[in-house]
Amino acid sequence: MIRKILIANRGEIAVRVIRACAEMGIRSVAIYADSDRYSLHVKKADEAYSLGADPVTGYLNIHRIVNLALETGCDAIHPGYGFLSENARFAAVCEQRGVTYIGPSAEVIRRMGDKTEARKAMVTAGIPVTPGTNENLKDLDEALQMAEQVGYPVMLKATSGGGGRGIRRCDSADDLRRNYDRVISEATKAFGSAEVFMEKCIVNPIHIELQILADSHGNCIHLYERDCSIQRRNQKLIEIAPSPQLDEAQRQYLGGLSVIAAKSVGYRGAGTVEFLQDESGRFYFMEMNTRVQVEHTISEAITGVDIVEEQIRIAAGLPLKFRQDQIQHRGYAIQFRVNAEDPKNDFLPSFGRISRYYAPGGPGVRTDTAIYTGYTIPPYYDSMIAKVIVWALTWDDVINRGQRALDDMVVHGIRTTKPYYQEILKHPEFRAAHFNTSFVENHPELTKYSDKRNKEDLAAALAVAIAAHAGL
Ligand code: ADP
Ligand code: ADP
Ligand code: MG
């Protein structure tokens, strides 16, 4: 069994893993950049070690991290998401140095991290993939030629892309000429690879992804799907499980397909198979993520399975706790990614000190975060500061619970996307469970809400009004 785990990450996901460790009787070791000295993951772990002054490079320093794990007597490393979580070399170095990497083999991470290779593997396994190029593009001429075959609009995509970056829609040959070098330079900067490929642009698609779990004994199950269609610039904002836009037959079909996909590449651990559904209802494989996802929480909410615990058990060589026929989905769960951004100002990042924080609670509410009153949001990382997850038996109830939970939540001192999500929850198309990845772009009016909305602000405004009336 695994006795001690180093968590090679920060923020809410580090806290999430530390919590799983605590429940499993496993010691946890945090690592931190000096600017993160006052972060929650540092306080919550059993031990914590500095990575030095640079806010980012420490979290990416493979040899430093593996050495630290060995020096502190850790059996395993959990990579979280982001940072080194999809870095095949990191997994390989762990394997070589005798530290268990909590995730799939280095070879599977490498293959699935290369979107062109992943597409090929899925074609071989008989999974329908988004129409597009079989190989990476050689140059612009070839791109123009392929686009004629695929048919505009097309998507130009970075082969090693992630986090919604390195993707551009091109509606015409001119568009493609304009974007080609841009995507290559974006990909080179963000992912250290200039490789790009092309897919047919699925117009107004629904993003559906399946959570899967596979152990080292040949067992592989899925935990049903998540609908991540509420996105801005290809980045997820709100996720829902199961999708209120699918029926049970579609759900079973995609579940089966995802298990075939995972088995065909010898998958081990927790992972996600992402699909797009086009307007005619057809599904296409898009990519596979070989790590725990930000939105794993909603699959936990509808199935009761602790995905991080399963990850650790699988890495320890244990069989899955559940068979497929023991996995039921119950009710609906929604996750809101509360970002430190100002929706009224084109989602400009909003950093600074949180002067007051109150986590939403009550029935069916879970908050995963690393912030607290007095914490200062550093400008170096992702802008997501909290995940609010709500669960209820019906779609109507989970929307009402989401409203109530977001109302409950207090984050003062910075701007967040919370009030924007409250506008989305009120929208009739959202309430009718009818939305696709264009929803955010099609509804710019939802950023035009009134600022005076939370109770404290109202109370303060009232106090001023009373004072004014009394002539004070
Ligand atoms: P999920 O699919 O789990 O929602 P995201 O795509 O939102 O994951 O990515 C989770 C985090 O990991 C984000 O902080 C994102 O910026 C980061 N990330 C994802 N892929 C990469 C990558 N290839 N390189 C660098 N960072 C990445
Ligand atoms: P990442 O690795 O950054 O998550 P994905 O390949 O998963 O990249 O795509 C991210 C998002 O971009 C999708 O959820 C979808 O909204 C959009 N997208 C990607 N490929 C296509 C496509 N072929 N047609 C339409 N939208 C797409
Ligand atoms: Mg994706």
Task: Among 32-36, 100-104, 130-134, 450-454, name the one with the lowest average pLDDT.
Answer: 450-454
- Kindly give the distance from the C-alpha atom of residue 83 to the centroid of ligand 1, in angstroms, as a whole number: 8
Q: Which amino acid is present at 151? A: G
Does residue 287 have its Cβ closer than 6 Å to ligand 2? yes
- pLDDT tens per residue across span 250-286: 999 999 999 999 999 999 999 999 999 999 999 999 9
- Choosing from 152, 234, 295 the residue with most ligand 2 atoms within 8 A of its CB, the one to mutate for a pocket test is 234
Cβ atoms of residues 325 and 303 within 8 Å: no
- Which has the closest alpha carbon to 312: 42, 45, 10, 16? 16
pLDDT of 435 strictly over 90 = yes
User: Are 91 and 304 spatial neighbours (Cβ–Cβ below 8 Å)?
Assistant: no
pLDDT-above-70 percentage for the chain: 96
- Give distance in angstroms: CA of 115 to centre of ligand 2: 11
CA of 461 to the centre of ligand 3 (A): 43
Whole-angstrom distance, CA of residue 401 vs CA of residue 184: 43
pTM for this model (two decimals): 0.94
Per-residue pLDDT, 458 = 59
The pLDDT of residue 472? 57
Higher pLDDT, 215 or 458: 215
* Residue 317, pLDDT above cutoff 90: yes
- For CA atoms 240, 244, 248, 253, give the dihedral sign: negative
Greater pLDDT, 462 or 266: 266
Residue 468, pLDDT score:
72
| DSSP-derived 3-state class of residue 399 | helix
Task: Determine if ligand 2 sits within 6 Å of the CB of residue 161.
Answer: yes
Two tokens, residue 115: 């979107």
Structure confidence by residue, pLDDT tens digits, 209-242: 999 999 999 999 999 999 999 999 999 999 999 9
Between 57 and 455, whose confidence is greater? Answer: 57
How confident is the model at residue 466, as a pLDDT? Answer: 73
CB distance 283 to 276 below 8 Å: yes
Mutational test site, ligand 1, from 59, 294, 437, max ligand atoms within 8 Å of CB: 294
Dihedral sign (CA 295, 297, 303, 305): positive
Mean pLDDT of 23-30: 98
Q: How confident is the model at residue 469 (pLDDT cuts 50, 70, 90)?
A: confident
pLDDT at 157 over 70: yes
pLDDT level of residue 471 (50, 70, 90 thresholds): low
- Whether the CB-CB separation of 300 and 329 falls below 8 Å is answered with no
- Taking CB atoms and a 6 Å cutoff, what residues make up the pocket around ligand 1? 81-82, 86, 162-164, 191, 236, 289, 293-295, 382
Mean pLDDT of the residues in the chain: 96
The model's pLDDT over 189-212, given as tens digits with 9 standing for 90+, comes to: 999 999 999 999 999 999 999 999
Cα distance from N-terminal residue to C-terminal residue, the chain? 69
State the catalytic residue, choosing from 111, 119, 232, 291: 291
- Rounded to the nearest 5 degrees, what angle is found at the Cα of 425, between the Cα atoms of 419 and 431? 170
Whether 431 shows a pLDDT value over 70: the answer reads yes
Tens-place pLDDT, residues 82-122:
999 999 999 999 999 999 999 999 999 999 999 999 999 99
Which ligand neighbours the alpha carbon of 284 most closely? 2
Our mutation pick for probing the ligand 2 site, out of 286, 295, 437, 441, counting the most ligand atoms within 8 A of Cβ, is 286
Domains assigned to the chain: 4-102 (3.40.50.20), 131-200 (3.30.1490.20), 206-457 (3.30.470.20)
Q: How far apart are CA 127 and CA 147, in angstroms?
A: 23
From the CA of 293, which ligand is nearest? 1
Q: What is the pLDDT of residues 348-380, one digit of tens each?
A: 999 999 999 999 999 999 999 999 999 999 999
Task: Provide the pLDDT for residue 460.
Answer: 62
What pLDDT score does 142 carry?
Answer: 97
Q: Is the pLDDT of residue 319 over 80?
A: yes
CA of 165 to the centre of ligand 2 (A): 9
Using CA positions, which residue lies closest to atom 4 of ligand 1?
294
Quote the ligand 1 centre to 162 CA distance (angstroms): 5
Structure tokens at 465: 């009004």
State the pLDDT confidence band at 467, using cuts at 50, 70 and 90: confident
Catalytic site includes residue 323? no
- Tokens 């264009």 — which residue? 438
Reply yes or no: is the peptide bond before residue 104 cis, omega within 30 of 0. no
